[in-house]
Amino acid sequence: MSAPSSAIVLAVEDEPRNSALLQAIVRAPKYELHLVASLAAARRWLTRFRPAIVLLDRHLPDGDGLTLVSEIRASHDSVHCPIVLVSASALPSDRIAADVAGCDAFIAKPIRVRELLDEMARQIARHDPD
């Protein structure tokens, strides 16, 4: 019997320290992390691959991360992909905006490792077609 494959994680994060933290905590063999630093790079990546989950920053150099949520939700291939907004903007209005946009969860920065890993596992399990 072969080992289960890694869940593919797309993280859209432009801050180098946060990217380094994600690389340190979202690790193989359970996860295969792909980091991009802009909406444009995320769009290009999503045309070629289908992630098990998207970790999305809100404030990116080329726009509001929430615009990507509606694009993912409109895509036939990725419509059911869980999206977790990971943002330093954590006011109640930011959480509401994430929910209205179609995010499945919200994690406030600074990232708490256990909270992020637990939420990722919960969302992937919830959206697993098997």
> What pLDDT was estimated at residue 9?
98
Query: Tens of pLDDT along 85-113?
Result: 999 999 999 999 999 999 999 999 999 99
The Cα diameter of the chain in Å comes to 48
Decide if 27 contacts 9 (C-beta within 8 A): no
Q: Which domains does the chain have, with CATH numbers?
A: 7-127 (3.40.50.2300)
Mean pLDDT of 109-121: 96
CA angle 11, 126, 124 (to 5 degrees): 25
> What pLDDT was estimated at residue 80?
87
User: To the nearest whole number, what is the mean pLDDT of the chain?
Assistant: 92
In whole angstroms, give the CA distance from residue 70 to residue 90: 20
DSSP-assigned states of every residue in 44-108: HHHHH---SEEEE-SEETTEETHHHHHHHHH-TTTTT--EEEEES--SHHHHHHHHHHT-SEEEE
DSSP 8-state code for residue 14: -
How is the beta sheet containing 7-12 ordered, strand by strand?
31-36, 7-12, 53-56, 83-87, 105-108
Mean pLDDT of 41-63: 96
